Chains A and B, each alone.
Chain A
Amino acid sequence: DSGVTQTPKHLITATGQRVTLRCSPRSGDLSVYWYQQSLDQGLQFLIQYYNGEERAKGNILERFSAQQFPDLHSELNLSSLELGDSALYFCASSVVPSPGELFFGEGSRLTVL
């Protein structure tokens, strides 16, 4: 158990819809990262927050947004969903931004029909 909690574990929705994925980092970790994993692309970095502030941005679509709240939990919002958004979405946390190990949650599997 990494200590990172993600909900929901599975989500099935239709194209055009909007979903919110939630992540609670390990106790004491200030950094939260979101990754997307699909079969053909591997793990792709989306966005990072550190102590409530956006710190780094990766290949995140404009239809996606995220935020980190004062209690350090984070939410990833995916809107106008397309079939290609179907993937595993992982949240990871760390004490400091880098370098160091990332602690990953178990992921949220999103299926867009």
Chain B
Amino acid sequence: SQKIEQNSEALNIQEGKTATLTCNYTNYSPAYLQWYRQDPGRGPVFLLLIRENEKEKRKERLKVTFDTTLKQSLFHITASQPADSATYLCALGRTGGGADGLTFGKGTHLIIQP
């Protein structure tokens, strides 16, 4: 069955350093991958989308890579700040699949320590 794995343990990073989060998947051939941020008790907020034919995408301090051979995406936050502390979700989607093709991982809790 399809499986998306994100580090279930909290990731503690010192302020100013680069935080790197991992999303691995199995039994899935995604056409695209998305990253969302979720704060406690709030709805997820879209951050970035990367398609299967793209290797890297950047947006301000955020960078996402997508390796369909390794079946892995890496999400980087450079110059991290305490305000970046949140849970980050990756989601995989299939072309034309609608939301049934958008499968979310359980998320990684990121803590940026001052």
Contact = CB atoms under 8 A, between A and B. Distances in A.
Contacts of A35: 104
Interface residues of B, number: 27
Given A4-B43, A43-B44, A90-B43, A102 B102 contact: yes
B43 A105 contact: yes
Contact of A58 (B34, B99, B106): B99
A99 B93 contact: yes
Contacts of A52: none
Interface residues on A, range: 20 to 34
A105 B44 CA distance: 8
Which residue, of B41, B99, B102, B106, has the highest number of chain A Cβ atoms within 10 A?
B99
B44 A48 contact: no
B95 interface: yes
Contacts of A98: 93-99, 101-102
A88 to B, nearest CB: 8
A104 B43 contact: yes
A95 B20 CA distance: 31
Given A2-B43, A99-B93, A105-B43, A48 B98 contact: yes
A18 interface: no
Contacts of B28: none
B49 A99 contact: yes
A45 B49 contact: no
A100 interface: yes
B43 A48 contact: no
A99 B31 contact: yes
A55 B96 CA distance: 11
B9 interface: no
A56 interface: yes
A109 B42 CA distance: 10
Interface of B: 31-32, 34, 41-46, 49, 51, 89, 93-107
Interface of A: 2, 4, 31, 33, 35, 41-45, 48, 50, 55-58, 90, 92, 97-107, 109
6 contacts: A35-B104, A98-B94, A98-B96, A100-B49, A101-B46, A104-B45
